[in-house]
Structure 1
Amino acid sequence: MRLTETPYNTPMKHRQLRVNELVKRELSAIVAREINFEGVLVSINDVDVTPDLKSAHVFVSVLGSATGASVIDKLEAHRPALQAELSRHVVLKYTPHLVFHLDDSIERGARVLEILQNIENPRG
């Protein structure tokens, strides 16, 4: 089994993979419980905690009427409370500073599928 590689082209350690998944799972539960996004489905797709555990890049997808920027702004506004709640649920040497990013990979994937369908079944 090949390990996931970091941007520095070195194999990611199993521990770091476990930390990423743990933070993702707990943060997903906290966001679902603590923040009300009316009419919008917000999903945390991935979390990338730095090796020193001091920051975590959180990749969020948005389905619904709200723009991604407004959801990211709301998450940023709640960041201190989210970090505090995360520190109560996840015991790490440091509580990572959360950095939120909009992940539009689902939308891009849907667009690619739409293009492929149009190629297979051209209108005309």
Structure 2
Amino acid sequence: MKRHHDNAKGGPAAGPSQRQLRAGELIRHALVEVLREEELHDDDLRGVSVTVTEVRMSPDLKHATCFVEPLGGGHAPEVVDALNRHARFLRGSLGRHIDMKFTPDLRFRHDESFDKAAHMDALFNDPRVRQDLEREDDEDEG
């Protein structure tokens, strides 16, 4: 029987469950170890350090979407494609590092939050925007 969780407003619960969050962090930490220990023979991954920023688990914990960022941010599409090519091998290695009933299927995606943060930073440093922000600060003080 399927359980439905409702939020305070009577609608379906928003966001991942506590179980999904815990499993995601467990997978993220173990995946970092696997990527550090295993040598993947792929030209797109040679000499590349990869940061695993987040792992989102499906409700049944059988699928994991892993958000990654290559150090320096360069060649992200190639790195993500290479990791997806080696996902089955990484899943096998991951199974030896975690204690879960099922080792989830892995899907890798580029974490674009770094790019968005850099874009926002560039916007805030634009002289016209900075002038508007300083004008608002002066109005708030007066």
Specify the SS of the correspondent of 2:102: coil
Between Structure 1 and Structure 2, whose CA radius of gyration is higher? 2
Structure 1 residues 46 and 88: alpha-carbon distance in aligned structure 2, compared to 1, 3 A threshold? same
Matched, 1:12 2:16: yes
> For 2:49, what is the secondary structure of its paired residue?
strand
| Aligned residue runs from structure 1 range 69-108, under 5 A | 69-108=77-116
Contact kept, 8 Å, 1:20 with 1:47, in 2: the verdict is yes
Of residues 24, 29, 38, the one that matches 1:34 is 38
Query: Cα distance 1:65–1:100, how it changes in 2: closer, same or farther (>3 A)?
Result: closer
Change (3 A) 1:61 1:121: farther
Moved over 4 A (4+): none
Computed over aligned residues only, the root mean square deviation of the Cα atoms, in angstroms, reads 2.3
Is the CA contact 2:20–2:61 (under 8 Å) kept in the aligned structure 1?
no
The residue that corresponds to 1:120 in the other structure is: 130
Distance 2:74 2:118 in 1: 18
Q: TM-score, normalized by length of structure 2? A: 0.70
Structure 1 distance, partners of 2:46, 2:57, is: 29
Rounded to whole Å, the distance in 2 between the matches of 1:51 and 1:27 is 19
Gaps of 5+ in 2: 1-11, 133-142
Q: Is the Cα contact below 8 Å between 1:54 and 1:97 reproduced in 2?
A: yes
1:21-52 CA-to-partner distances (Å, cap 9, x unmatched) read 00011101211222464454321111011121
Alignment-mate amino acid for residue 109 of structure 1: A
Tell me which moved more, 35-44 or 106-115: 35-44
> Contact conserved, 2:66 with 2:108, CA < 8 A, in 1?
yes
Same amino acid, percent of matched pairs: 32
Q: 1:113 to 1:20 in 2, by over 3 A?
A: same
Query: 1:26 touches 1:86 (CA, 8 Å); kept in 2?
Result: yes
Q: What is the TM-score with the length of structure 1 in the denominator? A: 0.79
